[in-house]
Amino acid sequence: MNLRADDHADPCGELARLLDLHDLLFGRPQDTRPLTEDELKWLRALLIWQDYATSLPAGDWDADTEAAAWALYGTENLEERWVAGGQVDPAALAYLQERYPEPF
């Protein structure tokens, strides 16, 4: 990897941002946990809002939610952070929540 930021107004800050982005996109989950009920509701609303699904059932994690969430992760280049079965990598979730704050 060769990252350069010497032409940026804040080269050290920009290099730190690029390294953080690299870690997000190419790092593997260090720990995972189940999605909370509120996080799952937020994720389903996001998936519908972003047209990854026309509707998703409430309740437990299901195959339709999994397929739509996988598509979102692919669009966001978060494939390395994917955890199947209703589990989540906290770093990927934090990125998505910052990128797509409510309301939608």
Q: Where are the domains positioned within the chain?
A: 31-99
Distances from the Cα of 38 to the Cα of 41, 51, 58, 93, angstroms: 5, 20, 11, 13
Q: Token digits for 56?
A: 């998703």
Which residues, 6 or more positions from 16, have their beta carbon under 8 angstroms from its beta carbon? none
What string of pLDDT tens digits covers the 104 residues of the chain? 788 898 999 999 999 999 999 999 999 999 999 999 999 999 999 999 999 999 999 999 999 999 999 999 999 999 999 999 999 999 999 999 999 998 87
